[in-house]
A and B are shown apart, each in its own frame.
Chain A
Amino acid sequence: MLVPRVRRSLPVRWEQPIGLYGLVLLIIGNYLGLFVAPGERFMGEVGRILYVHVPAAWLSMLCFSVAFVFAMTFLFTTKRTWDSAMEAACEVGVMEGALLLLLGAIFAKPTWGEWWSWDPRLTSSAVMMLSFVGVLLLRGVVRDPDRRATWSAVATILAGINVPITYMSVKWWRSLHQMQSETSQGSTIDDSMRWILYFNTFAFLYLTVWFLAARWRLAEARAESEVPEPLPEKHA
């Protein structure tokens, strides 16, 4: 049986200045995306959506990848704090994954003429997001903390397989979606747009770290409340 090892919340909330910094970056980054960035060559004004769509894609995939790592770490160490971290990464990833799909639909309508297409990239993104929704649902129905932690770690690892599939889907199959713009071979984005994209990505990153830390605290508090009370000592 797994022994619950719970750490109390950190007295100093280090993530709050990071979140505030991310908020400021997001305000400036969105202003740059809306008013300073040039129109995209083919998509015109609609191309401005990429400054929120692409960071949402990158950060949701980052959260799911991190959840995968936390799940593996939990299975190797059985420390409950990794289970809490995995829960946080799954939930924040699902939130950003849902945002990604919504932004993708808003992007698709004026550029492709339809809100949704069963395209490999879109479909794999939806499957990826829904598989992590499944992990959260599983956590919601299993009452025993040890079973919940182990089962959801396994489910997270299985769901995590979707991350590289989603990333590579535009290369492996014929897709309406464009290929990766940023690769190890270089970038296909003009420098006048690229720095604004990265500015917004850092805003998303800082906010994501804030969300992850705050959500991890919630999970830790729940784990703490689940620790059974010690049995009263028997007096002869």
Chain B
Amino acid sequence: MIPVFAQQTGMVMGGLGYVWAAYVATWAFFGGYAVTLYVRSKENR
């Protein structure tokens, strides 16, 4: 039986967890920054 790592397809297999992590990080950064802007603008008023 050929071990998984030895099955050379030329393509990275799997990795959907990394994909979701990247998209969640994007939303967290944008959402977090928007919240800081909102809080700071409230403090200024």
Contacts and interface: CB of A to CB of B under 8 A. Distances in A.
B12 A42 contact: yes
Interface stretch (A104-112, A155-163, A185-193): A104-112
Interface stretch (A95-103, A129-137, A139-147): A95-103
Nearest to B44: A221
B37 A44 contact: no
A109 B12 contact: no
B19 A49 contact: yes
A98 B25 CA distance: 11
Contacts of A33: 23
Nearest to B29: A99
A218 B42 CA distance: 10
A218 B40 CA distance: 7
B11 interface: yes
Contacts of A80: none
Interface stretch (A66-74, A167-175, A207-215): A207-215
A interface, size bucket: 35 or more
A121 interface: no
Interface in B1-45: 10-16, 18-19, 21-23, 25-26, 29-30, 33-34, 37, 40-41, 44
A56 interface: yes
B26 A45 contact: no
Contacts of B23: 30, 33-34, 52
Nearest to A48: B19
Nearest to A111: B12
Interface string A60-98: 000000000000000000000000000000001001101
A218 B22 contact: no
B12 A218 contact: no
Given A215-B37, A217-B41, A44 B15 contact: yes
Contacts of B30: 26, 207
Nearest to A222: B44
Contacts of A111: 12
A49 to B, nearest CB: 4
A2 interface: no
Given A214-B37, A218-B37, A103 B25 contact: yes
Contacts of B14: 44-45, 110
Given A34-B19, A43-B12, A218-B40, 17 more contacts: A33-B23, A34-B23, A39-B11, A44-B11, A45-B16, A46-B12, A48-B19, A48-B22, A52-B22, A53-B22, A92-B33, A95-B33, A106-B21, A107-B18, A107-B22, A214-B41, A221-B44
